[in-house]
Structure 1
Amino acid sequence: MKHSLSLALQHYFPLVGKLTWSPQCTAPEIVYVDGDSISFTVVESNFSFHHLCGNHPRNANEFSPLNTPLLPRSSTTGEIIYPLLAMRVTLFPNSGICVGLSISHAVSDAMTAGHFMKLWTLFCNNLEQETTSLFSHLLPSFDRTTIIKPPGIDTTYLNFLENINISQQSFLLPTTPTYFGHDKVVATFIMDLPKIKKLKKWVRSRIIEINKKEPSFNISTLVVTCAYVWVCLIKALGGDNSREHLAIPMDCRAHLDPALPETYFGNCVLCCFATTNKEDLVGEDGIVIAVEVIGKAIHTLGKSVFDDLHNFLDKFFSLASERLFVVGGSPKLGAYDLSFGWGRPKKIDYISATTALGYITLFECGDDGYKGLEIGIAMEKAEMDAFTSFFEDSLNNLPGQNSSSMARLSKI
């Protein structure tokens, strides 16, 4: 694993670099120097591998030993530097192996990280072979010459950093807000294909019934799943806030003009924001309303990703000061296709999301023949019990459905 990792990093060398802000530079930069390295830790655990791989509620603290955090440190010249990548491999004797990846969004988004992991596993499976023809489609593209940035965007973002007290003199980045507690649990819920088809069909018919016309956006699997989970979360968590917000990341490579290659190296993600009244979301047609605001938000951002870029960070932090749910991961990453030679992963978990309130993680289902989505949620146990009840029951109590139509739909 170490040898194949070194081969993959030769192509993804910026991941071995450091994020810093030197006195000579007007902005933070990623610096790679020949000979740089990453942290690669191998440990053994006697904890239950099968327990951690389950979908049932598990204590969030049980996941913390599986990853190596990216902690800042001082360089020899006194500058604060941040590592960008760290690996931790945990062996569970006679049970399995956990490969933990910590990667900074300053250098990479999930698409880049996914291509890097695929290249690593490809090398691991083919160390004795000539693999050039096998991995050429995974080589990163570092070309940024075609990206036409909005005028003044660099200054806008530097001013934003200054406003939150991040500067060359004080280069201390905020960490993800944690939500640890003895009762904090993480669980995985399955949205299988019959449920998705049923929800899509019902949502479309309700939109036509209410608006007297076809929806103007795509009622996709992502849209209906996010809407359903969002509404269940709001009902489970309660609270006295009047507005609710959901941030959904969008890979913008294909939406730029000209489009960037799929293997573009870097962070090419923006969030679209869905906002509406809480009262509407917990009402009879809350799922339909959630689908509409999410679908329209994705459609609008997809048409022109740079339109509101100057205000993106201000908007994100402003909504985060209220109640903002954030979607992480993506079913398009093909995370369960990774194999170091031992077969498909038994479970993929987004560990950093288990330490932050308001994260929803989405991956494709790990079972080969089980089409659908895996949804990861973390919260207090009492809240998890409430969410589980809403998640399991809401689909069986959709407005306008009678028992016979429900029976028919369940067989789709």
Structure 2
Amino acid sequence: MEFPHTVNVLEQCRVSPPPGSVPQTSLPLTFFDLPILCMTSPVQILYFYELEVSKTHFMYSILPKMKHSLSLTLKHFFPFVGNLTWSPQSTKPNIIYVDGDSISFTAAESNFNFNHLCGNYPRDVNAFTPLVAPLLQLPNTSYPLLALQVTLYPNSGISVGYSYCHVVADGMAGNHFMRVWASVCSSLCGDTSLLSHSLPSYDRTTINDPWGIEMSTLKDLKFFNITQQSFNLLCTPTDPSHKVVATFIMDLSKIEKLKKWILMRNFDKIKNGPPLNLTTLVVTCAYVWVCWVKALESVNALNNAREHFLLPFDVRTRLNPALPATYFGNCLVFRFTSMQKNDLFGEDGLVMAAETIAKAYPASRNDVLNGAENTLAILSSASRMLGISGSPKVRLYDVNFGFGNPKKVEILSSTSVGAVTLCERGDASEGGLEIGIALEKLEMDAFASLFEDGLKTDKYLTSRL
């Protein structure tokens, strides 16, 4: 496989928690984790830090601190160091940690243009591939759960790329680990202000299963050929991608104007019915959905009557009883909705999309798990679905190893699963959202035109009834 730049490995090693610091532990998967077994692509995220640093300083100062702080952090996030197994004695997979288990850690050097990688404009997906370490299956039936790579761009910056198996953690838990690791590393540099991050909670005993979600999910997994006898999760290497990845900015002023336009077009329904839950997330998702469908249809029209939308919700605080915000694992419910394709293309497509997505929100604590037992059945039945990944609540840009917040964060996972990613803006003072998307070149051109022109021409910003 050829890439548009070279990456030379400087060091490859394995990092463990301090010896004897964690007892042998078995952590069972919950019904929140089990559906993720079908999502075989690992979560891959790249943090780019602008930093004038020489190769010598990188090798003899930065790397030792990062590895030492990583070892100390893994003591508290030990499931990442364990392996995913499904033993004959268990009814479901477990994460097993044994003293001496370790993760892959790679240090590398790249000659590619650092500022180009940090851009928002379309960039070749293949440029990012060698910057994240792959999850390689061990020579048995166990699966590693985390791999890390730190790459130097001499006198320009460094990137920290990590791949982890989504089954062990959702975005909130994954970035919690990154913030704590960065905090410990920063404290080794003399800054202890970031050590206020609390440690993860692994208590699963309060998670209730009122609808038999676990049994239903285990049954549905068989249709994906995931059983105790056929437990094969990790993807094989893929061919080079033909996609480009780009970032679009939705600032707060444009979001507010879109809200006003939607409320104005929907005035009669709102006046005579319940209030519309028109949040920043709802408005942004609706706008992206409309642009995405129109862009794909303009390049390769499908003979499908309906378009489908998937939105995950973090429900740690919505469960009864609630889980702590530091709960480590998956704690997502997926809400599915759909619309007639022609309605999305209509004059009020944005209004109808916003209304449909807003109604997908769980109405109450009692409603939050309703329908969760059907997650896999719905996933397998939709012909084309736009999924949202990430959330501004994850705080991706709040990861500081002692040399400032990231200049740019790329969630590479979207390139393989076709999801659109959302996170807070890197320039947090401006407010708003960053929208990451990967598409074929012609599709990206169409999406960019629709996204930018719809706002620049004030189509949605100045319309009146």
Q: Does 1:120 align with 2:181?
A: yes
Superposed, which structure 2 residues align to 1:13-412 within 5 Å?
13-75=78-140, 80-127=141-188, 135=195, 137-150=197-210, 152-173=212-233, 175=235, 181-182=241-242, 184-209=243-268, 212-213=271-272, 216-238=275-297, 239=301, 240-300=303-363, 304-319=367-382, 322-356=383-417, 358-395=418-455, 396-398=457-459, 401-402=462-463
State the secondary structure of the residue aligned to 2:397: helix
Name which of structure 1's ranges 366-375 and 212-221 shifts more when overlaid on structure 2: 212-221
Distance 1:314 1:134, change over 3 A: same
**Higher mean displacement: 36-45 or 133-142:** 133-142
Q: Provide closer, same or farther for how the CA distance between residues 19 and 297 of structure 1 changes in structure 2, counting only shifts above 3 A.
A: same
Indicate conservation of the 8 Å contact 1:217/1:299, yes or no.
no
Instruction: Work out whether residues 104 and 146 of structure 2, in 8 Å CA contact, stay in contact via their aligned partners in 1.
Output: yes
Shift of 1:310: 1.6
Check conservation: 1:232, 1:387, Cα contact below 8 A: yes
Aligned 8 A contact 1:60 1:355 in 2: no
Q: Amino acid of the residue matched to residue 127 of structure 1?
A: L
Question: Unpaired runs of 5+ in structure 1?
Answer: 406-412
Q: Deviations over 1:220-276 (max 9, x none)?
A: 110000000000011111023110111111001011011111001110011111211
Contact 1:284 1:399 in 2 (8 A): no
Note the residue ranges of structure 2 that are not aligned, 5 or more in a row.
1-65
1:56-76 per-residue CA deviation (whole Å, 9 max, x = no partner) reads 11011111011112232333x
Q: Deviation of residue 154 (structure 1)?
A: 2.7
CA contact (8 A) 1:87 1:101 kept: yes
C-alpha contact 2:88 2:228 (8 A) present in aligned 1: yes
Q: Which residue does 2:34 correspond to in 1?
A: none
**Equivalence for 2:70:** 5
Q: Distance in 2 between matches of 1:348 and 1:340?
A: 14
Does structure 1 conserve the Cα–Cα contact (< 8 Å) formed by 2:257 and 2:461?
A: no
CA contact under 8 A between 2:180 and 2:197: conserved in structure 1?
A: no
Larger RCO (CA under 8 A, 6+ residues apart) = 2
Task: Determine the structure 1 residue equivalent to 2:11.
Answer: none
Letter in 1 for 2:265: R
- Alpha-carbon separation, structure 2, partners of 1:314 and 1:391: 32
Identity among equivalent pairs (%):
55
Q: In the alignment, is the contact (CA less than 8 A) between 2:187 and 2:194 conserved in 1? A: no
Partners of 1:301 and 1:289 lie apart in 2 by 23
Q: What do residues 3-48 of structure 1 show as CA deviations (whole Å, max 9, x unaligned)?
A: 1111111111111000011222221111000111101111000011
SS at match of 1:254: coil
Distance apart, 1:163 and its partner CA: 2.2
Q: CA deviation at 1:360?
A: 0.3
Q: 1:244 to 1:300 in 2, by over 3 A?
A: farther
1:191–1:374 CA contact under 8 A, matched in 2: yes
CA offsets, 1:298-346, max 9 Å, x none?
Answer: 1448652221122111112222xx0011111111111112111111101
How has the CA–CA distance of structure 1 residues 130 and 344 changed in structure 2, closer, same or farther, with 3 Å as cutoff?
A: closer
| Structure 1 residues 303 and 225: alpha-carbon distance in aligned structure 2, compared to 1, 3 A threshold | farther
Q: Is the 8 A contact 2:117 2:123 kept in 1?
A: yes
What's the secondary structure of 1:255's corresponding residue?
A: coil
Residue type at the aligned position of 1:163: F
CA pair 399-326 structure 1, distance change in 2 beyond 3 A = closer
Which sits farther off after the overlay, 167-176 or 241-250?
Answer: 167-176
Q: Secondary structure at the match of 2:413?
A: helix
CA distance change for structure 1 residues 364 and 229 in 2, over 3 Å: closer, same or farther? same
The answer (yes or no) to whether the contact 1:188–1:375 under 8 Å persists in 2 is yes
Tell me how large the CA RMSD over aligned residues is.
2.2
SS across alignment from 2:266? helix
3-state SS in 2 of match to 1:73: coil
CA contact (8 A) 2:309 2:337 kept: yes
CA-to-aligned-CA distance 1:59-114 (integer Å, 9 cap, x gap): 11111011112232333xxxx11111110111111111100011111110111111
Using the alignment, how far apart are the partners of 1:289 and 1:179 within structure 2?
A: 38
Measure the CA separation in 2 of the matches of 1:140 and 1:43. 30
Summarize the Cα distance change of 1:398–1:179 in structure 2 as closer, same or farther, 3 Å threshold. farther
TM-score, length basis structure 1: 0.90
Q: Deviations for 1:347-399, whole angstroms, at most 9, x for unmatched residues?
A: 1101121233x310111110132211110111111111111111012233536
Number of residue pairs the alignment of both structures matches: 394
Partners of 1:92 and 1:374 lie apart in 2 by 24
Look up the SS of the partner of 2:175 in the other structure. helix
- For 1:379, give the aligned amino acid: L
